Chain A
Amino acid sequence: MSTAVHLDEITKRFPGVVANDDVDLTVERGTVHALLGENGAGKTTLMNILYGLYEPTEGTVYVDGEPRDFDSPADAIEAGVGMIHQHFMLVDPMTVAENIVLGNEPRKWFGTTVDRERARQEVIDLSQRYGFDVNPDDTIEDVSVGVQQRVEILKALYRGAEILILDEPTAVLTPQEVEELFEVFEELTAQGKTIIFISHKLGEAMHAADDITVLRDGKNVGTVKADETSNEELAELMVGREVLLEPKSAHREPGKQVLSVENVHADDNRGIEAVSDVSFDIREGEVFGIAGVDGNGQSQLVETITGLREPTSGQITYKGRDITRASRRSRIEDGMAYIPEDRHERGLVMDFDLVQNGILGSQHSSKFSSGGSIDWSTARGHAERIISEYDVRPPHADADAESFSGGNQQKFIVGREFEREPDFVVATHPTRGVDIGAMEFIHERLLDLRQQGKAVLLISSKLDEVQGLSDRLGVMHDGELMDIVDPRNTTEEEIGLLMAGERPGWSDTEIDTANPSVGDAQ
């Protein structure tokens, strides 16, 4: 086996930060290599160096045994290195084939015109060769994220990539699509391609990679073979201390009802019913989880509860008061916190700094404002407290929100919402995109809130997360609440069936559907 990539003592310094510190990395041809580490560990920087986006401050990049000095991605592509970024670089209204050949269009008629037939045929040949299921004539905006990712991979292959770098390729995929992606990896390596993928998920690295390199604080803390290591060893390498992988869920007796949702129906933005007749309640000191594949009405349900969408019928009661049509502001003032699902769209204002973002939603509160003007020094203190308590890095309250990585943005939002001292927290995908250290921290804080007698509504597409944290678990499918189960006495398979819309026979399970609050019967 020969070496495809060798990074020799790479150091990259940005003003005030050492992103990569003397990193060595060797990747063998025809293997899958996972680059594992927490947010800010320097994984993406290292790969951007290999892809020619950054120049290393010190050190040398070897591709196929030869030292290379890439000035731009064009040089890297020339040397057979392709990169698939976390945010896809695709043109939405163009077709799959048009995107794949963009910039390298085959021409006809003396180079004046794109040879569309040839482009199409080349794309078909390429996808058949690697067993990809893509239709060259589909428009990008009409295909799923998984297909878009395959188009990105094809784009790199079309340009002759032998080494493919994927930055967090699974972050946007459904579990099935993740499986399909890993099958693609196998097909590609079988044909001699080399794959490096960035991840902060242990399970994926263990599952899909041959070798795993762990980066921490910009340093290579170890390269291990996937079949000679364990989750615990990797987690310790990543975080630098022992980590609790399973959230502890001490039981607490729930108190009086905080929120009640009765027969709620709601439409999505296109006017199609997305939530059908959903009813449940949440009590003090309880985590109510909702599991389900994304897009089964969870978003719309949460929006009716938080006041962002008016239900078409049904009633929502909060602290004994009908809030079905209450304003968002009154709900916030009444102690409802909300960690939104889309942090760019609803969590933060990207070109505000953290001081401004820190008071969003509390701008009317007497804590920060008097006589219509905001007390910026209090607001700054507030932001700095969130930054230090929730370990937001880098700790710059004056920096714009968009300059932070996704994980740090998420930590800041979680901090802001928890600092409201809420009575009820709606947490939608609270750990999406954060590293395991932060995930553990957010889980602990959610359980702390429960211990303090607060109510929590937790929506997550990660089944282990909702199952591990919830006292009761509702499963949604196609807008309906299929069932409410006790997560401790229900297997993953049973929940999976409910998520797929199948109700197992009542007699076969331990689930008591007549009593929705089965969780506190023990």
Chain B
Amino acid sequence: MSTTTIDQLRDTELSYRMFLAAGAIAVFSFIAFFGLVFPESIWADLLGILISRSTLSSALRLAVPITFAALGGIFAEKAGVINIGLEGLLIISAFTAVITTAVIGPGVTILGLPAIWVGFFAGVLASLAFSLIFAVVCIRFKADQIIAGLAVWLIALGLAPFAATVYYGGVNTDNVGTTLGTWTIPVLSDIPFFGALFDAGPAVYMMLIAVPASWFVLNRTAFGRHIRASGENPKALDTVGVDVSRVRYAGVLLSGFLSGIGGSALSLGLGQFIGNNQTMVNGKGFIAIVAYLFGNYNPLGAFGASFLFAGLEAVQIRLQQVPGYAIPDSLIQTIPYITVIVILALVGRTRIPQAAGEHYDTGEDNR
């Protein structure tokens, strides 16, 4: 009986993937067909946007904070700590990166490092510090992870604009007048369309390295296996002599480190921190959670989902510029959330780590 269950599971997984692929191809061919047949229609405009190099370029740029936060979320949750505070980590690192660069003064270098890179690492450190507090509260003091995660978000959401107000008199920082810029690889960047991959900001390259690296760490190293075991059955890990708390701290700190890169890259890509309403992060941390659930905790899948969501946003931004087709961006922004509801409710393929969200007691000396 168990074999039939497995076969069924594999069947649904396969058909689900084929369904997604077929759907994507169908949508694209639909657009391509009508775009080519009716050159004056919306389809032609859409096709133009889809195959334009600048759309790919901005999709990659927009995917950076989502991808890094998603990778971080994977490490934390695989280790058994649900880090719902990714949004907060992005906010605090985005703000710290800009304010540090501004305080040092653009153009100044410290130990040969330009101010903007010092700011970048300061942002990562701020995110690490926040995630350390979160980890201590959740692991050492066994607080509810969801509430602690919301606290991380709300504190960052209040703190960053407040600090900006103290320093600048408004919730937005001034523009530091410099950005991370782009690193262009000669020759390769001349390739049509895909050249965008080789003419991008440094954070895009980091992302393209971090995604396979995360996959490798999770699936091929002993540390990665300990992370997975810690989120599935911490007791199994404990009884073979691996310290569960240490593994969980490592998982949460990695989520802080990775989200920090995402947040710093977000604000320094623009040179400014925007603190209005939901700040410039504007839900990217939550979309990251959606992305890794969509990707079933696989870094490659999470990147695919992040890129899809970022791509939709890029298309939407480009569409705004085409007269007559302004689609409200708030409508586009609901797409990731609708996707996750469909994925979780109808497809049910995502396998949440069994012990995620649960505190672990070693069980010694209590009876």
Contact = CB atoms under 8 A, between A and B. Distances in A.
Interaction A to B: yes
Interface of A: 14, 53-54, 72-74, 77, 85, 89-94, 98-99, 102-105, 107, 112-114, 116, 142, 144, 155, 159, 270, 272, 295
14 contacts: A54-B365, A73-B239, A77-B241, A85-B239, A89-B233, A89-B239, A90-B233, A90-B236, A91-B228, A92-B232, A94-B229, A102-B226, A142-B6, A272-B4
B268 to A, nearest CB: 31
Nearest to A90: B236
A113 B233 contact: no
Given A92-B354, A144-B2, A104 B225 contact: no
Given A89-B236, A155-B240, 16 more contacts: A14-B367, A74-B241, A89-B235, A91-B229, A91-B232, A91-B237, A92-B354, A93-B228, A102-B240, A104-B240, A105-B225, A107-B222, A113-B221, A114-B221, A159-B240, A270-B5
A112 B213 CA distance: 12
B241 A103 contact: yes
A214 B241 CA distance: 31
Contacts of B239: 73, 85, 89
A113 B218 CA distance: 10
B40 to A, nearest CB: 51
A442 to B, nearest CB: 26
Given A105-B222, A113-B221, A114-B220, A91 B236 contact: yes
Interface of B: 1-2, 4-6, 8, 220-222, 225-226, 228-229, 232-233, 235-237, 239-242, 351, 354, 364-365, 367
A83 to B, nearest CB: 8
A112 B221 contact: yes
A102 B232 contact: no
Nearest to B9: A142
B233 A92 contact: yes
B242 A103 contact: yes
Contacts of A103: 226, 237, 240-242
Given A91-B236, A93-B232, A270-B8, A102 B354 contact: no
Contacts of B6: 142
A91 B232 CA distance: 6
Highest count of chain B CB atoms <10 Å: which of A91, A92, A93? A91
B156 to A, nearest CB: 33
Nearest to B216: A113
A18 B242 CA distance: 31
B232 A113 contact: no
A117 to B, nearest CB: 12
* Secondary structure class of chain A's binding surface, majority of residues: loop
* Secondary structure class of chain B's binding surface, majority of residues: helix
Nearest to A296: B1
Contacts of B232: 91-94
Highest count of chain B CB atoms <10 Å: which of A54, A74, A85, A103? A103
A159 B8 CA distance: 36
Contact of B236 (A102, A112, A295): A102
Contact of B228 (A94, A107, A144): A94
Contacts of A105: 222, 225
Contact of B351 (A77, A90, A93, A272): A93
B229 A102 contact: yes
Contacts of B221: 112-114
B220 A102 contact: no
A91 B228 CA distance: 8
A72 B363 CA distance: 12
Please provide the 10 A-B residue pairs with the shortest distance between their CB atoms, ordered closest to farther.
A103-B240, A89-B236, A105-B222, A74-B241, A91-B229, A91-B232, A89-B239, A103-B242, A91-B233, A91-B236
Highest count of chain B CB atoms <10 Å: which of A72, A90, A93? A93
B12 to A, nearest CB: 11
B2 A99 contact: no
A73 B8 contact: no
Contacts of A93: 228, 232, 351
Nearest to B242: A103
Contacts of A94: 225, 228-229, 232
A295 B1 CA distance: 9
Contacts of A77: 241
Highest count of chain A CB atoms <10 Å: which of B237, B239, B365? B239
A120 B88 CA distance: 42
A333 to B, nearest CB: 35
B220 A113 contact: yes
Nearest to A15: B367
Contacts of B235: 89
Given A102-B236, A103-B242, A53 B364 contact: yes
A85 B239 CA distance: 10
B2 A73 contact: no
A107 B226 CA distance: 14
A99 B237 CA distance: 9
A256 to B, nearest CB: 38
Nearest to A53: B364
A345 to B, nearest CB: 15
Contacts of A159: 240
B219 to A, nearest CB: 9
A107 B225 CA distance: 12
Contacts of B229: 91, 94, 102
B235 to A, nearest CB: 5
A90 B237 CA distance: 8
Highest count of chain A CB atoms <10 Å: which of B2, B233, B242? B233
B364 to A, nearest CB: 6
Nearest to A144: B2
A92 B351 CA distance: 12
Given A103-B242, A270-B5, A114 B222 contact: yes
